[in-house]
Amino acid sequence: MKNQFSLEINRPCSEKFNQFATTELGGLCNSCEKEVIDFSKMTSQEVISYFKNNNTKNTCGQFKKQQLTTYAPKPQLKRKYNFIKAFGFALLSFLTFNTANAQKGNPSPEKNTINIKNLQGNITVKGNVGDESGDLPGVNILLQGTNIGVETDFDGDFTFPKTLKKGDVLIFSFVGMESQKVTIQDTKSAANINLKVSMKIDSCMLLGKVAVKKVYSSKNK
């Protein structure tokens, strides 16, 4: 994907961020007399915006450990839906017309019956995982008692790869945060999961000069 970049801190600094004089975007380091940007309070989109719009050659910052990862701006969707919408509308009209005509003959109620029992045992679980700063990519989601799982994507979103049933338990885990267990009750049970920040959150902070590396991938022609 175009414009991907990764963030690293190769040599963490031993200075204490909470001892810096407060600035607009973070704090002033007395040792090097530079502003240290506090990225730990930014969302993923705010981090992307900062590194896209600023000269970041000599940027120093404070990050949560999980923020030192690969970032990819959201692609802009091209509007090529007019033909598809027109075709879909025509198809829907055709099906509606044929259904209406069919109902004038001998009705067959069994064909329109939904198997509720089947649906209750095949729940598709989707959701979003985040903390107080925003979405969390890379969160592990595992079905308890199995090896079946998935990770949240860049935006903290996930779709569990296996349909579930009422009573199944999903385990959400991430470095530096407390694991959460969610029991499936219905299709909304696992939506908007917010992992609780660990009490040891300070140990997950990294401070230092940021290395920004471009991530290249093959172009689709």
State percent of the chain over pLDDT 70: 63
State percent of the chain over pLDDT 90: 14
The strand ranges marked E within the chain are: 4-8, 21-22, 26-29, 34-38, 60-64, 70-71, 126-131, 134-135, 140-143, 149-151, 157-159, 169-173, 180-183, 193-194, 205-209, 211-215
Q: What is the mean pLDDT of residues 67-94?
A: 57
Q: pLDDT for 112-136, tens place per residue? A: 322 333 345 677 888 888 776 777 7
pLDDT reported for residue 27: 94
CATH number 2.60.40.10 is the correct assignment for the domain at 116-194 = yes
Domains of the chain, residue spans: 4-75+201-215, 82-112, 116-194
Q: Where are the alpha helices (DSSP H) in the chain?
A: 44-53, 82-104, 116-120
